[in-house]
Amino acid sequence: MADDNQFKKVISHAKEYGYVFQSSEIYDGLSAVYDYAQNGVELKNNIRDYWWKAMVQMNENIVGIDTAIFMHPTIWKASGHVDAFNDPLIDNKDSKKRYRADVLIEDYCAKIESKINKEVSKAAKRFGDAFNKEEFVSTNPRVLGYFEKINTILTRMGNSLESEDLADVKALIEELEIADPLTGSKNWTDVKQFNLMFGTKLGASAEHAMDLYLRPETAQGIFVNFLNVQKTGRMKIPFGIAQTGKAFRNEIVARQFIFRMREFEQMEMQFFIKPGTQKEWYEHWKETRMKWHLSLGMGADNYRFHDHEKLAHYADAASDIEFKFPFGFKELEGIHSRTDFDLKAHEEFSGKKLQYFDHEENKSYTPYVLETSIGLDRMFLAVFSNALTEEALDNNTTRTVLKLPAVLAPTKAAILPLVKKDGLPEIARKIVEELKWDFNVAYDEKDAVGRRYRRQDANGTPFCITVDHDTKTDNTVTIRHRDTMEQQRVKIEDLKAIIKQEVDVKNWLMKM
Ligand code: GAP
């Protein structure tokens, strides 16, 4: 269920604690473009590293590359983006607001879905322990009616979009009496297709300039380098190529903070396989990627798969890993079985062979491709929004704590001298000097220690280390754990091992 209040808190906390700023804020901002601030960039880097370690470093048969944002314009013709990378848009004539027609219809279906959920919770209350959810949803006439309605609507929308019958998409919106979510007006224009790629020009003079696009996905940089990597890396199928990098889309309905941006970052991996094995690899990568998410301990209930019925032009199977954002379950990552569509298309448009010689089979073929594609910014939002917690304390106060997975936290430990005198700052500084070789740590001496604890809690720092007068005689410090607020007295020389135990990537990825 959407929680607008929580979402507002997420956005303001991200700004207040130096995670995400609106781009060009002093010029009143640029819509759907954001900057990562001092803490945000650390969190983003840590998420990217966590992905890279799991996908590249831990897999002998996956290598990484980093390709250019500018690419030959024919690539986008071959990939289908020039002709098919469109959104069906509709304008409201009264409010002058523009919407994605398919999203309006999907949101309508989501409302029917919430009616189903209400029926289920009412029945669960009525029947108590005897309640069998599966039986209820498969037999209750009202619930079955709702399911049928959703199915009819989505099937019709899918068929109309597939056959480019945009007049029928508009007719559906009108039949369902879908209103502008902001104003309630039902005064709609026709539905039109709108290409999402940003164009730019390469060259000094207007007449000789070449029209280019900013890449809308990183995947094509991998496809066009497939043979280069395979040959120079002596890669044998099955093998993967991964990359992370910026992608650009002229999103019309860019809202929900960093969930849908015009400039964003993807983490993609293309896995090249023998034709005919795509089903098993599809299942393998669905499972493996879900395990990666679960290893971060953000709650199994917050994830679900959404298998696609309407497939993109390149896919023979596709599923999203959806995450429960404050505004409901939404796509976080896509797993796509892309067949040989891309390599074949690049062969055709470039006139170059992109085939693999399989020594075991003694023949050449165009590999099939299994893709995993996750938005780094979306992952950031998932981690950040899940972590932001308001906790009621025993003394009738509350604390705001950002319970980031310790492996991803921007600052692993804050070192706090109890007072700014008596040689305590010097000892604290020495601890910082020692720990900073291994971890991103902070020194903080301003305000009472309780306030400093709260500040670090809100910042997501897993450990606070306090140096007090006893430290001078026994070389021990107090280490406070962010989530439990438990405090322990430990030796300075043991700090590194204690922190490492909690933040080490290995310990987290081993949970996969
Ligand atoms: N190469 C396949 C591909 O690009 P996609 O489903 O269009 O597939 C993959 O995008 C992922 O990229 C999405 O699951 C999402 O996490 C992220 N993404 C897509 N558009 C985005 C946007 N406008 N802003 C932020 N993230 C986006």
Q: How far apart are the first and last CA of the chain?
A: 28
Q: How far is the CA of 238 from the centre of ligand 1 (A)?
A: 25
Give the ligand 1 atom nearest the CA of 254: 23
Q: How far is the CA of 228 from the centre of ligand 1 (A)?
A: 26
The mean pLDDT value for 217-236 works out to 97
Asked whether 3 lines ligand 1 (CB < 6 A), one says no
Q: How far is the CA of 374 from the centre of ligand 1 (A)?
A: 6
Q: What is the pLDDT of residue 207?
A: 77
The mean pLDDT value for 409-433 works out to 98
Q: How far is the CA of 383 from the centre of ligand 1 (A)?
A: 17
Asked whether 376 lines ligand 1 (CB < 6 A), one says no
In contact, 197 and 81? CB cutoff 8 Å: yes
Element containing residue 318 per DSSP (H, E): strand 317-325
Q: What is the pLDDT of residue 204?
A: 79
Residue pLDDT, tens place only, 235-285 = 999 999 999 999 999 987 667 899 999 999 999 999 999 999 999 999 999
Protein residue whose Cα sits closest to atom 12 of ligand 1: 375
CATH domain 1-70+213-390 topology: BirA Bifunctional Protein; domain 2 (3.30.930)
Give the integer Cα–Cα distance in Å for 332 and 324: 9
Asked whether 261 lines ligand 1 (CB < 6 A), one says yes
Residue pLDDT, tens place only, 1-26 = 466 789 999 999 999 999 999 999 99
Residue pLDDT, tens place only, 158-199 = 889 888 899 999 999 999 999 999 999 999 999 999 999 999
Asked whether 269 lines ligand 1 (CB < 6 A), one says no
Pocket test of ligand 1: the residue of 217, 243, 313 to mutate, having most ligand atoms within 8 Å of its CB, is 217
For residue 302, give both structure tokens.
């917050």
Q: How far is the CA of 375 from the centre of ligand 1 (A)?
A: 5
Sequence ranges of the chain with CATH classification 3.30.930.10: 1-70+213-390
Asked whether 217 lines ligand 1 (CB < 6 A), one says yes
In contact, 90 and 189? CB cutoff 8 Å: yes
Protein residue whose Cα sits closest to atom 24 of ligand 1: 260
With a pLDDT cut of 70, the percent of the chain lying above it is 99
Give the integer Cα–Cα distance in Å for 93 and 124: 44
416-452 burial by CB neighbour count: b if 16+ within 10 A, else e?
bbbeeeeebbebbeebeeebeeebbbbebbeeebeeb
Sequence ranges of the chain with CATH classification 3.40.50.800: 411-509
Asked whether 266 lines ligand 1 (CB < 6 A), one says yes
The mean pLDDT value for 311-322 works out to 90
Asked whether 382 lines ligand 1 (CB < 6 A), one says no
The residues, any chain, with a CB within 8 Å of residue 198's CB and separated by 6 or more, are: 213, 214, 248, 249, 250, 262
Give the integer Cα–Cα distance in Å for 100 and 324: 22
Please determine, for residue 111, whether its predicted confidence score (pLDDT) is greater than 80: yes
pLDDT band at residue 288 using 50, 70 and 90 as cut-offs: very high
Give the ligand 1 atom nearest the CA of 251: 23
Q: What average pLDDT does the chain have? A: 95
Cis amide linkage into residue 141, ω under 30° from 0: no
Asked whether 334 lines ligand 1 (CB < 6 A), one says yes
**Reported pTM:** 0.87
With a pLDDT cut of 90, the percent of the chain lying above it is 88
Q: Is 165 helix (H, G, I), strand (E, B) or coil?
A: coil
Protein residue whose Cα sits closest to atom 22 of ligand 1: 260
Q: How far is the CA of 162 from the centre of ligand 1 (A)?
A: 20
Enumerate the β-bridge partners of residue 417.
467
Pick the CATH number of 411-509 from 4.10.520.10, 3.40.50.20, 3.40.50.800, 3.40.190.10: 3.40.50.800
Q: What is the pLDDT of residue 66?
A: 98
Residue pLDDT, tens place only, 446-458 = 999 999 999 999 9
